[in-house]
Amino acid sequence: MLDVSVVEELEEFDHNRNGTLSPNTLYIIGSGDKSPKYKLYYKIVVNNCINSNDHNTINNSSSCKKKTKIHLPYRSSDLNKISSVCQLFKEFEDGKRRLDQDELSGLATNLIQIESGSTRFMDILRTHFYFDDNIKKYSDWNYYLNYFKKKGCKSSSCDNYCPHKNQCNHAGDILSTTKPERHTIIKLANCKEQLYHRGEAAEDFAQKLKTAFETDDNKIHILNAPTALGKSTSILEYMEKPNLRILIAFPTNDLKNQLYAKAIGRGIKAVKTPSLLEVKDKLPSNIWNHIESLYQIGKHHAVFDYIKEVIAKRDVDKRCSDILKEYLKDLTKFYTSDCHVFTTHSRLLTIDYWELKKYDAIIIDEDIILNCMIRNQVEIPISKLEKVLDEIDSNSKLAKKIIAAVEAAKTKSWFTLSNIVYDNAYDGISTPIDIPSLCHAEKIYFKNKFDENNLFESNCHEDSIVFFKPLRLKNNIKYIMLSATVNQKICNYYFGANRVKFYNCKKAEYVGTLNQYYKNTMSRSDIDKNLGIVDKIKKFTDFVDTITFKKYGKGNYHYGKTTGIDTLKGKNIDAIGTPHQPVWIYKLFAHTMGFNFDENAKLKYQVVRHNEFGFWFMTFDNDSELLRNIQFWMIESELEQAVGRARLLREDCTVNVFSNFPLSQAVMKEAEYK
């Protein structure tokens, strides 16, 4: 409903009646365009005014003896933001076209809510000579603006006067579009994501997967498809086809084993790669600890030799020996097999080019960038680098690289080093750091323990260098990646747009319910400040299953370890928290990709737009769009993975998300827990 609306067009009226017969009725002189011979007057009705006092009370001098400066809810700085989100105001400001009375009135009711808004409105009228043919109209509009303010008139809805309402991504009015209230999430118009019935979405996914399989190229085909759409079933159906050999890699051993068991149950000939992580609890602690230490310092090549050494010992426990022999046997079976293979992301990255060429299709389940790179950082304290220098030849390439890193860290936070070849001479280094990864590392971040980039990190104890282990998919090999959270921009950034073929599959409407409680930011620091808030939430929802940060010890699952879990299917879940990462992780990802970015960019609580929503969020400014894209991808992926565990696409259950980062298909709710 219009707050200010033109209800009648008149040719003449008594000026003395203006504002006296009804405090909600005004008369404005029009342009006379319709009938140049006569002046036109518009009768305007002001509705939805907060102050209902009559005209005599408003003008009673006894009630205005003491005036107090009352600041308006929107500051003058907000005026500069309007033209970037409101096309009508931009047209008004630029003078590209002459607005009609209804449009001017609609803008006016919004601008009067802003400090200096009325002044800006009048300045624009004069700048573009709106009423130079009748100067009195300027004073009339000035009167009307003051009158609207005095009456406490509400801002008019965009839907009631704006010609762009069906194209613009707006909220209720200009004000909420430009600057929503804090701790709110505003649904924007004209940008609602189209949702489909599950059957139609599944058919669309099947067709796109078929296209990816049949395309003869060496690109990375990436399908962004919702969770629970039948991806696993589709893969098994392809495995049942004759003369087709597939290798599929999963983020975890559990997921690998689950689908492998289903394949065997359907009579599909397949093998799975073994993992020592799966048998670690059956090994003597001293043997496993040594194997684990070799993995941690990057000496994967030494594990095989150590296993053979343990097996050769006469005094070794027979059970231990049998387990390790079985591991080597399964590893050999994988390399010599001629059937389908189930493996993990980490194992996939170690398989050489010629081994991969044996397969007709290589499928990657879930986002390998997020699951295998972002969570695979190497951090080396400067003190340990200096210890390594005491153990190696000062003229070696490794020594020169370490010296270069230490020197660069004295003046830079972000720097690049050369990739060097690992030398077997480094096998004898006793300082426990990942030497092989250090040799290959190129993009480095120096993490000062006092650096503000450590925001959202609580365990930075000493100066160190940090880098991501490189994730490199082999060239001239075709891959097919399937994920519900994969991001096209990120994939194009990382793999190169010319190598990526991206498929946005149709999204299906949930059968279950997704509620989102957004009043609290629910970052780690916010939860820490609100003592007992997690327990209050659990009491409020009465749900058994919880996904939150690991530090709070609630439930068996936590952010960073939810991908692909199927044990929560059909269950009611609370997902508590906004999974921010330390600022340096976003920047290191950009640095690793070789992109330029503002090294001094900071997070700021500000209004942003993402997907269908406008909201306040702690993020980077617009001029750091790359960093913001990286941040939103990481946060949204974690939240969507948590929600996906319930399989809302097929199951009539409920997931409650407690976060101020809005998710698609969520029903926004204010907090009801205390």
pLDDT of 101 above 70: yes
CB atoms within 10 A of CB 21: 11
What mean pLDDT comes out for the span 657-671?
94
Distance between CA 493 and CA 222 in Å, rounded? 14
Confidence class for position 65, pLDDT limits 50, 70, 90? very low
Distance between CA 641 and CA 367 in Å, rounded? 11
β 464-468/443-447 pair status = antiparallel
- pLDDT tens sequence across 565-579: 889 999 999 999 999
Do 196-374+473-504 and 509-669 fold alike per CATH?
yes
Q: Where are the beta strands (DSSP E) in 560-603?
A: 573-576
Distance between CA 236 and CA 231 in Å, rounded? 9
- pLDDT tens sequence across 464-473: 999 998 888 9
Span of 385-394, 423-432, 646-655 with lowest mean pLDDT: 423-432
What mean pLDDT comes out for the span 352-369?
95
Confidence class for position 55, pLDDT limits 50, 70, 90? very low
- pLDDT at residue 460, as a whole number: 61
CB proximity list for 537: less than 8 A, separation 6 or greater: 574, 576, 656, 658, 673
In the three-class reduction of DSSP (H, G, I as helix; E, B as strand; rest coil), residue 178 is classed as: helix
- pLDDT at residue 29, as a whole number: 45
What mean pLDDT comes out for the span 627-642?
96
- pLDDT at residue 1, as a whole number: 39
- pLDDT at residue 193, as a whole number: 84
Task: Confirm whether pTM is higher than 0.85.
Answer: no
Q: Domains of the chain: which residue ranges?
A: 4-60+71-177, 196-374+473-504, 377-468, 509-669
What mean pLDDT comes out for the span 331-349?
95
DSSP string, 330-366: HHHHHHH--SEEEEEHHHHTTS-HHHHTT-SEEEEES
Confidence class for position 631, pLDDT limits 50, 70, 90? very high
- pLDDT tens sequence across 258-312: 999 999 999 999 999 999 999 999 999 999 999 999 988 888 888 999 999 999 9
Give the Cα-Cα-Cα angle 572, 574, 577 (nearest 5 degrees): 160
Confidence class for position 77, pLDDT limits 50, 70, 90? confident
CB proximity list for 61: less than 8 A, separation 6 or greater: none
- pLDDT at residue 308, as a whole number: 93
List b or e across 508-527, with b for residues whose CB sees 16 or more CB atoms inside 10 angstroms: bebebbbebbbbbbbbbebb
Superfamily of domain 196-374+473-504: P-loop containing nucleotide triphosphate hydrolases (3.40.50.300)
Burial of 177: CB neighbours in 10 Å, binned 0-12, 13-18, 19+: buried
CB proximity list for 669: less than 8 A, separation 6 or greater: 515, 516, 517, 518
Q: What's the per-residue H, E or C state across 381-396?
A: EHHHHHHHHCCCCCCC
- pLDDT tens sequence across 13-25: 444 444 443 444 4
Fold of domain 509-669: Rossmann fold (3.40.50)
- pLDDT at residue 454, as a whole number: 62
- pLDDT at residue 578, as a whole number: 98
C-alpha count within 13 angstroms, C-beta hemisphere, residue 226: 25
- pLDDT at residue 228, as a whole number: 84
